[in-house]
Structure 1
């Protein structure tokens, strides 16, 4: 008999379809990644570190927290680094929840929220996003009862790209800390660079606010696993008790330091995606009458007729997108926005595939 807890044995592992992805032969529009390699300066920094004879040493992070805190506009005591934002999410659930607690996770959304909640044996309440109304704000507010321990706001949400306005986030923060409630509000800002929407300035005013961010998306280093948490100093000090002292890869720190020193590379990529590529894809979808969810970030959830055949046509052309079903089981295709050239290539295939 297994020694593992019964509720964990009963779970299913989160297994994203990563096999067979090759940037040399495919245009990778399936995982919301940066679609170009990182800058030469980031690559050079990694090579220099590898050749410095220090790989045999435990990580030493230096002033990386201070550098990121300056970038994020928060105090050094309001930020901690994590092994990707996934670890940040996990730390929140591990540190806040116990077996039988309720959590509110609007759906459909990023699978790791539910995965972490299930590991802690929590009960999940899942109000649903809709294309017409976006974030289910009133349903979330109604669900915040005294036994709720975490409320998740994925901002913007994956897969639909929906952004909850600042006043909506504040309404949740207030509801989660009044009338007998004391719930953490986890605001996932992993696409912050694309939206520029944040509530990081509110962490001092709302002790129940915890923000997660990542260097996996815009910054282009998901393989190195680097993220960070923003919250009040008291929460950060407590979460540091749970995170291990060596959890963050030294190479990730080297890459992030170089990336922060060369932000122009990141900002030019953001402009390419949001100001050039995205309007072209949206115009094509409107022209063809293909339904899609309005998006605030670097991907668009589309619903062409015959999505399976369209996905196969894109795959045959070397373009990978991500099939994602909505709450009713209707299959759509989430398309990551890359460069204008990459988007135009995808449109060429979509034009033929959706016309047949």
Structure 2
């Protein structure tokens, strides 16, 4: 007999395909990461901290919350830092929901939403995205009941890159005032679309973001939640006092002080690489979902063979199933040089 809740033992773990990933051997276009090194100033800040012999001291976060708030254009009391945005998602769901509550999670989407909801044994309703119609707005609204305690809106959604209009997010939050409306903006720097300025007007609105993607710091794990002060205070009652490690804070402080390396990278990805790859896919008649993010979900006729060929060329991409079980390949966008390498690889696959 298990000592844990019965439904926990029946769950499966979320296991991203990390085995064999090596950025020194592969071009990593599979996890939507930044594909270039971080700024020298960030590296130096970490080196300086280690050399200052502070690793034996508990974390002290200083003014990092204020710096993040300034970056987001909100008040510091509306921000809580977390151990990656995954912890923010988990804390929101744990704090807002009880076993048997209903969660509306449009899909297919990021697996962590389901993972955290299943840990709380929630009943999950999953309206589906489509390539033709995008976000399933009406299906989400129709699914709201008096048992709904969580609505997850990934903006943009992963793996398809589909945005959710601001007015749609606010309409849904207003339609379900009893439910936590979790808006995941982890790709904000690519889209510049946000509802963080509306958290005071909508008490059930919570925004999660991360420094893992555009800022290129997934290994140090720092995300944050933006919401009204009352919500942040409640979540701080659940988050541990030292859940965010000091190295993460040091790195993010340096990153926010040197934003140009992120801004330049985002500009190249969105204004150069994205239209380049889209034009290539159009020319080759390879279907893909319209996207506003740094990844494209493509659907070749033979995805398994294409993925194998890409891998043999030293490039990793991520197979992902759509709502009908059809396999596509989610491809992260890199810089212009890396996009040219990918296009050359795809061209040689077609010839073979």
Question: Normalised by the size of structure 1, how large is the TM-score?
Answer: 0.98
Cα deviation code 1:264-291 (max 9, x no counterpart)? 0110000111111111000001111100
In structure 2, what is the equivalent of residue 104 of structure 1? 104
| TM superposition shift of 1:353 | 1.5
Deviation per residue, 1:279-307 (Å, 9 max, x gap) = 10000011111000000010000001100
Equivalent residue, structure 1, for 2:139: 139
CA contact (8 A) 1:305 1:354 kept: no
Aligned with 1:189 (options 185, 188, 191): 185
Describe the SS at the equivalent of 1:315.
Answer: helix
User: Where in structure 1 do 4 or more consecutive aligned residues deviate above 3 Å?
Assistant: none
Counterpart CA distance in 1 for 2:301 and 2:141 is: 35
Partner of 2:234: 238
Tell me, in whole angstroms, the C-alpha distance in 2 between the residues paired with 1:77 and 1:96. 20
Cα distance in 1, alignment partners of residues 200 and 349 from structure 2: 51
Show the counterpart of 1:161. Answer: 161
Residue 278 (structure 2) aligns with: 282
Query: SS at 2:24's partner residue?
Result: coil
Q: Does 1:299 align with 2:298?
A: no
User: What pairs up with 1:1-356 in 2 under 5 angstroms?
Assistant: 1-177=1-177, 182-356=178-352
Give the drift of 1:171.
1.0
Alpha-carbon separation, structure 2, partners of 1:19 and 1:224:
19
> Which whole-Å deviations, capped at 9, do the CAs of 1:153-172 have from their partners, x for residues lacking one?
00000000000111111110
SS of the counterpart of 2:216?
coil
Could you say what secondary structure the match of 1:228 adopts? strand
C-alpha distance in 2 between matches for 1:355 and 1:83: 46
Aligned length: 352
Could you tell me the TM-score, scaled by structure 2's length?
0.99
Which deviations, in whole Å up to 9, do the C-alpha atoms of 1:123-155 show, x marking residues without a partner? 000000000000000000001111000000000
Deviation at 1:315, TM superposition (A): 0.3
Partner of 2:215, secondary structure, is coil
- Secondary structure of 1:300 counterpart: strand
Shift of 1:355: 4.4
CA distance in 1 between counterparts of 2:351 and 2:207 reads: 43
Which segments of 5 or more consecutive residues in structure 2 lack a partner in the other structure? none
**Cα deviations across residues 201-226 of structure 1 (Å, max 9, x unaligned)?**
10010000000000000000000010
**Per-residue deviation, 1:318:** 0.2
Local SS of the residue matching 1:89? helix
- For 1:254 and 1:274, the matched residues in 2 are separated by 28
Structure 1 unaligned residues grouped into runs of 5+: none
Q: Residue 187 of structure 1: SS of its match in structure 2? A: strand
Matched-pair contact (CA < 8 Å) for 1:304–1:354: no
The structural deviation recorded for 1:352 is: 2.1
- RMSD, matched Cα: 0.6
Describe the SS at the equivalent of 2:240. coil
